[in-house]
Structure 1
Amino acid sequence: MSIYDSLVSASRFAASRWRAARAGDGEEAQLWRHVDEYRAFLGETGQVYLFEDYLKGVAPRQRPLVSTALETRQDAVASKRAMELLLKAFDETPEPEQKQAASTLIHLLNFIADTGQLDDFEDFVNNRLENAPLAIAHFTTRDEAQAWLKGLAKPPSPARILIGDEYYLAWSSREDNARDMYRDYIIEPYIGELVAGGIPSTAPSFETRGEAEAWLKEHPASPFGFVSIAGEYFFAVHHKRLKRHTLHPVASALTKWEEMKRAAEREEARDAVAKDEGDGE
């Protein structure tokens, strides 16, 4: 089973336990939702293959151990309770497949603790609404980004990066030793939704981008905001981890987003026609 299949199986296991818990203990249901955030964090930060390597170093045991790095953290209350829940589920389930799924989640929590990422994880979960979609690196040009991706011994699998003001998804595949990146239109829906509500008349106005960037450095968007530069509206996005803002021209972003939606609708229509033709044969 591939690492991606293992994570999908683990996610389904957590989801099934969450659905069962909703009918009873509300606290347990909340913990199961918390458990699935570990998988989300792993994927968003591009660490799937790093986790796979970590698993190779875990000695086989009848019952998984708990990371010392987690046990010694006095402030990691939620993660400790999640670990207790996972160990309980591991002990109680008789099915080997479900035991394996629970074991994967236990090791995932240990991985995050052992690599010193518990604080980053808590920030990811607790401040998701206050943070922009996560990007792990920024580059001025695509050539710089390509050189970075090609030079990594352990490339992301996958993760978002920024090239200039645009999101890209950098990915790699161990199976065929491939790696590349493509434009990711993740910020455009935010722009469309907020523009629909109206651009504030109080949006600050600047003559140059440099002036806007200097102002944003002292007044970070939280995480989004509108500014006007030389009479054109831009959508400012604060990337907390990278300590920078990107500026997205509103008019062209909305045009591109409408084009993407129309393309998706055409694709759905083609799929529906192909399905109908296939059913009719």
Structure 2
Amino acid sequence: MRIHDALISASRFAASRWQAARLEGREEEKRLWPQVNEYRAFIGETGQVYLFEDYLKGISPTPRPQVSPALDASKDATSHEIMRLLLKAFDEAPEPEQKQSAAVLINLVNFIADTEQLAAVEDYVNNRPEYAPLAIAHFMKRDEAEAWLKGLAEPPSPARILIGDEYYLAWYSREENARDMYRDYIIEPYIEELAARGIPPATPTFETRAEAEGWLKNHPASPFAFVSIAGEHYLAVHHKRLMRHTLHPVASALTEWEETKQAAEREQARGAAAETEGRGE
């Protein structure tokens, strides 16, 4: 099974276990299963899917998954709770496919422990609402990003990056030996929602972008803040992991986002019409 398919199956398994815990009133399990999904999301958003696949290939088969010594030695209480939950789910799973999904999740926690990322995943889970959408790298120009993507034997995938002030999604397929990047409209919904709440009348005002950037270094957005530059409103977005801000012009970002949504709706309508026509034939 391809690693992406295995992770999708594992996510569905976790969702079914959460649903059962909710219906049966098992409060502790109901609390922990969403955290399992956050661990899986951490691997995906940091572009470590293929690294995890290689890790799985190095594990010797056993009737029951083993707990990593690194996890055993750690003092991360949440990861220990999640591991106990997953081992219980493995033991209770009636079907081989379900046991396989539980084993994938068990080894995902082991992978995080063995690669010394328990603190990073805890930070990701606990502070994600206070962070901007995760980007793993920043480039000033697209050709710099393309050189980075082409220069790596196996780039992180999928992973969001920043080119200037814009998000892109970089991807790599090991199976097809293909790689590319495309514009990712992940920040625009945030701009839309925050602008709809109302831009504060007393926003910090600057004549130039350089002035705004200098001010933001000492007054970091947490993670979003409106500023005015040369009479135009911008949303400043603080990328804590990259130690920088991006600045997004509100008016043009909203216009572009609306055009993008309308284009997606037209494409969806064309697809639905084609499907209806195909059934009619």
Taking structure 2 as the reference length, the TM-score comes to: 0.97
Q: Which residue of 1 aligns with 2:276?
A: 276
Q: Aligned letter for 1:37?
A: E
| Residue-by-residue CA offset, 1:215-239 (whole Å, 9 max, x unaligned) | 1111111111110111111110000
Say which SS state the counterpart of residue 268 (structure 2) adopts.
helix
Q: Which residue of 2 aligns with 1:25?
A: 26
Q: Aligned letter for 1:207?
A: E
Q: For 1:123 and 1:6, how far apart are their aligned partners in 2? A: 25
Say which SS state the counterpart of residue 242 (structure 2) adopts.
coil
Q: Which residue of 2 aligns with 1:265?
A: 265
**Is the 1:70–1:114 Cα contact (8 Å) retained in structure 2?**
yes
Q: For 2:145 and 2:265, how far apart are their aligned partners in 1? A: 31
Q: Which residue of 2 aligns with 1:143?
A: 143
Q: For 1:36 and 1:233, how far apart are their aligned partners in 2? A: 37
Q: Which residue of 2 aligns with 1:112?
A: 112
1:47 aligns with 2:60: no
**Is the 1:10–1:105 Cα contact (8 Å) retained in structure 2?**
yes
Say which SS state the counterpart of residue 154 (structure 1) adopts.
coil
Q: Which residue of 2 aligns with 1:103?
A: 103
Say which SS state the counterpart of residue 103 (structure 1) adopts.
helix
| Residue-by-residue CA offset, 1:62-102 (whole Å, 9 max, x unaligned) | 1111112211112x111100000101111122311111000
Q: Which residue of 2 aligns with 1:157?
A: 157
Q: For 2:178 and 2:272, how far apart are their aligned partners in 1? A: 32
Taking structure 1 as the reference length, the TM-score comes to: 0.97
* C-alpha displacement of 1:153: 2.3
| Residue-by-residue CA offset, 1:32-61 (whole Å, 9 max, x unaligned) | 111111111111111100100111111111
* C-alpha displacement of 1:280: 2.4
Q: Which residue of 2 aligns with 1:36?
A: 37
**Is the 1:234–1:249 Cα contact (8 Å) retained in structure 2?**
yes
The list of structure 1 runs, each at least 4 consecutive aligned residues, that deviate by more than 4 angstroms after superposition, is none
| Residue-by-residue CA offset, 1:140-164 (whole Å, 9 max, x unaligned) | 1111111111111221111000011
* C-alpha displacement of 1:276: 2.1
1:65 aligns with 2:66: yes
**Is the 1:50–1:154 Cα contact (8 Å) retained in structure 2?**
no
Q: For 1:93 and 1:197, how far apart are their aligned partners in 2? A: 46
Q: Aligned letter for 2:142?
A: R
Q: Aligned letter for 1:186?
A: I
Q: Which residue of 2 aligns with 1:82?
A: 82
* C-alpha displacement of 1:279: 2.8
Q: Percent identity?
A: 74
